[in-house]
């Protein structure tokens, strides 16, 4: 290679590296990512939990989501732990029924949308904590003025038990199921005295319906749906209102 040929070769290398450098710096084509489902709700029954969520129709950048491939359902026992994939459902399904729970299991659910390229959205918000509904037999239902202490698997425990999950009392209108955990600091040492719940830890008081009557608690007790059945038993459900 003579000097002229060498200079021409060097010039061509410089030009091609300039082109390569320009193409590296060029903005990459952004890949649309589906938006996350905005809402999720869960509904329990005696046999399973139904998770339902809102449809996703757009990408994060606002463009229409034309290639929605479906949704992926995740769940965890504790929200601070990683959520595990438990189901993939087609795009036209906005719900999934989890029939694998055992009595007393408590789970939280989240959902992601996924497009045809396999690109997932962020997680939806997490659901409330949910477990299977429980049936309380008519023979063990509390008399007026008394309280029944239960675990989420339906076991009846003595009031002196160091821990139980919920309480059931009888009112003029039916039955009232409440979380046993005081909203001040989570103490479960609650006593039902003269139709009032009194926390034995720092003295908070709650009405039979769970409303705060006396501090230091500021928040009402969590209340569950308790429905009297034709056979005289009561079914306690832990779900709040389902998704509309």
Q: How far is the CB of 219 from ligand FES (least distance, A)?
A: 11
Phi, psi of 35 (to 5 degrees): -70, 155
CB atoms within 10 A of CB 44: 22
User: 95 has which bridge partners?
Assistant: 52
Q: How far is the CB of 220 from ligand FES (least distance, A)?
A: 13
Q: How far is the CB of 215 from ligand FES (least distance, A)?
A: 8
Give the DSSP H/E element, type plus range, for residue 18: helix 3-25
User: 89 has which bridge partners?
Assistant: 71
Identify the residue among 101, 209, 216, 222 touching ligand FES (CB under 6 A).
216
Residues 164-193 that bind ligand FES (CB under 6 A): 182, 184-185, 187
Distance from C-alpha of 133 to C-alpha of 90, rounded to nearest angstrom: 27
Identify the residue among 86, 94, 129, 201 touching ligand FES (CB under 6 A).
201
Nearer to ligand FES, 103 or 159 (CB): 159
CB atoms within 10 A of CB 6: 10
Q: How far is the CB of 179 from ligand FES (least distance, A)?
A: 12
Q: How far is the CB of 177 from ligand FES (least distance, A)?
A: 19
Q: Could you say whether residue 202 binds ligand FES (CB under 6 A)?
A: yes
Q: How far is the CB of 236 from ligand FES (least distance, A)?
A: 22
Nearer to ligand FES, 217 or 234 (CB): 217
Tokens matching residue 214: 């006396």
Tokens matching residue 116: 């045809």
Q: Could you say whether residue 217 binds ligand FES (CB under 6 A)?
A: yes
Distance from C-alpha of 104 to C-alpha of 39, rounded to nearest angstrom: 25
Distance from C-alpha of 191 to C-alpha of 153, rounded to nearest angstrom: 21
Residue pair 89/73 in contact by the 8 Å Cβ criterion? yes
Identify the residue among 131, 179, 204, 237 touching ligand FES (CB under 6 A).
204
Q: Could you say whether residue 199 binds ligand FES (CB under 6 A)?
A: yes
Beta strands 68-76 and 84-89: pairing type?
A: antiparallel
Q: Which stretch binds ligand FES (CB under 6 A): 84-92, 96-104, 120-128, 194-202?
A: 194-202
State the DSSP code for 21: H
Question: Applying CB under 6 A, which residues contact ligand FES?
Answer: 182, 184-185, 187, 199, 201-204, 216-217
């Amino acid at each position: 290679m003579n000097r002229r040929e060498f200079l021409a070769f060097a010039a061509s290398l410089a030009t091609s590296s300039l082109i390569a450098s320009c193409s590296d710096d060029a903005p990459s084509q952004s890949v649309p990512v589906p938006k996350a489902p905005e809402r999720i709700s869960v509904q329990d029954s005696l046999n399973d939990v139904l998770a339902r969520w809102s449809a996703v129709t757009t990408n994060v950048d606002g463009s229409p989501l034309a290639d929605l491939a479906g949704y992926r359902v995740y769940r965890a026992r504790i929200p601070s732990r990683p959520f595990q994939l438990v189901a993939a459902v087609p795009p036209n399904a906005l719900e999934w029924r989890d029939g694998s729970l055992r009595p007393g299991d408590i789970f939280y659910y989240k959902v992601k949308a996924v497009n045809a390229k396999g690109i997932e959205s962020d997680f939806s918000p997490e659901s409330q904590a949910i477990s299977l509904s429980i049936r309380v037999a008519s023979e063990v239902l509390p008399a007026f003025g008394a309280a029944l202490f239960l675990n989420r698997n339906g076991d009846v425990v003595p009031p002196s038990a160091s821990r139980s999950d919920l309480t059931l009392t009888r009112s003029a209108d039916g039955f009232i199921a409440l979380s046993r955990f005081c909203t001040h600091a989570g103490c479960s040492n609650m006593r039902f005295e003269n139709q009032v719940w009194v926390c034995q830890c720092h003295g908070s008081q709650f009405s039979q319906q769970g409303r705060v009557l006396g501090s230091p608690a500021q928040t009402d007790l969590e209340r569950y749906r308790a429905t009297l059945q034709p056979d005289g038993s009561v079914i306690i459900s832990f779900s709040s209102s389902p998704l509309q």
